[in-house]
Amino acid sequence: MPSFSELTDEFLLQEWEDSPVRASSLGLTAYDDRLDDLSEAAITRRNRRDAEWLDRFNAVDGAELSFDDQIDRELVISILRGRQIVEDFEVWRRQPDTYLNPGMSGIFGLFLHRLRPTDELVESAVSRLRLIPGNLEDGKRNLRPEMVPGIFLDRAANQARAGARYVREILPGQMDDHRLRAKLREAGEATASAYDDYVAFLEEMRPAATGEWALGEERYSALLLEKELLGFDARELRDRGRAAYDELASELTRCARELRGTDDWKSVLDELNEDHPPTPEAMRVGYEEWTQKAREYLREHRLVSFPEGEECAVVPSPPFQRPVLAVASYMSPPPFSDKMLGHFFVPFPPDGASEDEIQKRLASNSYPGIPTTAVHEAYPGHHWHLVMSKSNPSRLRQAFRTPYFSEGWALYAERMMREQGFFTDLRWEMNQYEATIFRAARIVVDISLHMGEMTWDEAVEFMTTRTGLTEPTAKAEVTRYCAWPTQASSYLTGCLEIVRIRDAFFAAHGSSDTDALRAFHDGITSSGGLPIALAERAVLAKAGVPA
């Protein structure tokens, strides 16, 4: 029998072979010139191997492992069990963007992190560009019109159009060296033509695209209980989301009364949204300024420790991401590299957006709301968490994390900064509450959608009438929920669980002062992005609580 370390190394090597784009994004540059195999045979083979791996890790006697290895074993079992739960749903037959994401992110990431000399990156990019048409052909063979939801077609087609422009124009244009530019342009033209053909394929599919996107209550609950290791199922979580919504609505009513003398907090938020940047670049500058302010506040008040060399760049979102993501996002430095530069992507509107849509998107990034989002994405949200987690020696924890911790942490970061007095203007405070009630609404909508109790149109109406979202942003959000079940519920769920763990940490530590708060922050984030139950065990052990 191999040791646990040997078993883990064997498993991870297979993961890199199956998912070279993810391996490359983690900093394993030997995989930079490869793309994931998305053929039906490869997908079937991976499913079979996942089941075999699950059996092998289940057979390991946890009692013989160290404390950290016990957590790692349960982490990998949760990941594999999560894959098994959704296997029969066959996402690869339902979601057209399955065949777009590896190629687009795989090329963009090479030049974002620049872990190798430019000429080597270009060679790897050319290799991946030549493999992208094969991924798209796999998509044409694998997708079943009767399984593809119609709402996924526009999302994927717009992403493919943006990808075509990226490889045809934007990527070659980033090269100063004419020789490298010519290489990328030649390979990019052929790839762009393949993207154009994929768009035509999706348009032809439209009349027959009648598939179902609802995951179903049984699978949703199983993911919460067995993958995320939470103590409640879908219905209980939806009830928690509704209760949280009502509680947060009371706080927003209080803010609205103080600001405008009205109980109609939604109208006050709509008014505040009118105070927004006039252009996407002005929006980026606003985010950049507040990112720096948040960092300085953390240092001044000693709320966290800072890893040496960490840095966060605030930049426009990638062109291919803009049609499918209407909110800010973040990409961490590769875990298996010495890089400490993360990227906070500001949600620029997609190419071809009308002036009206651009202004509505900018309204969703108003000046009163920018401080909260900067905290969420950068300090001490995603960026700070993920540069802290780089210090963990576990290769499994560098490779895998769950949104129920990472997104939960980022929302917790907003709440903690409000508690610590960072949002000194009531408008900023109100927007932090709005950001939280938005996440409560996400729980209600996401679960209702996937239990089949809410339609897409009803979900859009809910998000526009019960939160501060504008209609274009709400439409993009709801389509994302349909395509990515359980993720939208992770933010507030994880946040509230982290608050609960913090209370337990303070009780074990015997104090809740600034030193204890910083110890909690440093301890739980440096443990990785574990499922909540495992994160709790890891950080409480640092406070002296036995497992």
For the chain, the structural domain boundaries read 4-208, 221-494
Give the pLDDT confidence of 385-422 residue by residue, as tens digits. Answer: 999 999 999 999 999 999 999 999 999 999 999 999 99
Number of H helices and E strands in the chain, helices first, is 25, 3
pLDDT at 63: 94
Peptide bond just before 380 cis, omega within 30 deg: yes
- CB-CB contact of 360 with 291 (8 Å): no
User: What is the side-by-side strand order in the sheet with 341-346?
Assistant: 311-316, 341-346, 329-331
- Specify the DSSP element, H or E, that contains 242: helix 234-260
CB 252 within 8 A of CB 444: no
CB atoms within 10 A of CB 368: 22
pLDDT at residue 187 in the model: 97
> Cα angle at 446 between 50 and 95, to 5 degrees?
50
d(CA 266, CA 468): 7
Q: List the pLDDT tens digit at each of the 547 positions of the chain.
A: 789 999 999 999 999 999 999 999 999 999 999 999 999 999 999 999 999 999 999 999 999 999 999 999 999 999 999 999 999 999 999 999 999 999 999 999 999 999 999 999 999 999 999 999 999 999 999 999 999 999 999 999 999 999 999 999 999 999 999 999 999 999 999 999 999 999 999 999 999 999 999 999 999 999 999 999 999 999 999 999 999 999 999 999 999 999 999 999 999 998 998 999 999 999 999 999 999 999 999 999 999 999 999 999 999 998 878 877 778 999 999 999 999 999 999 999 988 899 998 998 898 899 999 999 999 999 999 999 999 999 999 999 999 999 999 999 999 999 999 999 999 999 999 999 999 999 999 999 999 999 999 999 999 999 999 987 878 888 989 999 999 999 999 999 999 999 999 999 999 989 999 999 999 999 999 999 999 999 999 999 988 776 5
Burial class (CB in 10 A: 0-12, 13-18, 19+), 544: exposed
Could you give the count of Cα atoms lying within 13 Å of 123 in the half-sphere of its Cβ?
8
How many CB atoms within 10 Å of residue 299? 13
Q: Give 66's contacts (C-beta < 8 A, 6+ positions apart).
A: none
What is the secondary structure of 46-110 as a DSSP string? HHHHHHHHHHHHHTS-GGGS-HHHHHHHHHHHHHHHHHHHHGGG-HHHH-GGGGTHHHHHHHHHH
Q: Give the whole-angstrom CA distance, residue 501 versus residue 499.
A: 5
- Report how far residue 274's alpha carbon sits from residue 367's, in angstroms, rounded to the nearest whole number: 9
Element (H, E) at 541: helix 532-542
- Residue 261 and residue 253: Cα distance in Å, rounded? 10
User: Where would I find the H helices in 365-489?
Assistant: 370-377, 382-389, 395-399, 403-419, 426-450, 456-466, 471-483
The tokens of 207 are what? 């009349």
**CA atoms 160, 163, 167, 173: torsion sign:** positive
- Listed in sequence order, the residues at least 6 apart from 64 whose beta carbon sits closer than 8 Å to its beta carbon are none
CA gap 370, 435 in Å, rounded: 11
Residues 136, 412: Cα–Cα separation, whole Å: 39
- What does the DSSP assignment read for 151-218? HHHHHHHHHHHHHHHIIIIIHHHT-SSHHHHHHHHHHHHHHHHHHHHHHHHHHHHGGG--------HH
Which two structure tokens, joined as six digits, stand for 386?
């993920």
Asked whether the CA dihedral 406, 408, 410, 416 is positive or negative, the reply is negative
> Is the entire prediction scored with pTM above 0.85?
yes
Place of tokens 């939960």: 408
Neighbours of 49 (CB within 10 A): 15
The reported pLDDT for the residue numbered 547 is 57
- End-to-end CA distance of the chain, in Å? 27
Task: Say whether 313 sits in a helix, a strand or coil.
Answer: strand
Tokens for 503? 């209370």
Helices (H), 27-66: 40-58
Q: What angle separates helix 151-165 from helix 101-113, to the nearest 10 degrees?
A: 40
- Report in angstroms the alpha-carbon separations of 239 from 178, 441, 443: 59, 11, 9
116-119, long-range: CB < 8 A, 24+ apart: 116/29, 116/32, 118/175, 118/177, 118/180, 119/177, 119/180
Q: Report the alpha-carbon distance of residue 223 to residue 206 in Å, rounded.
A: 31
The two three-digit tokens of residue 489, written as one number = 């519920």
* Distance between CA atoms of residues 156 and 479, nearest Å: 11
Q: What is the DSSP letter of 318?
A: P
Read off the tokens for 543.
């406070």
Q: Given this model, what pLDDT does residue 472 score?
A: 81
Residue type, 361: R
Query: How far is residue 495 from each of residues 29, 157, 408, 432, 513, measured CA to CA in Å?
Result: 34, 34, 4, 13, 20
Give the rounded distance of the alpha carbon of 75 from its chain centre: 19
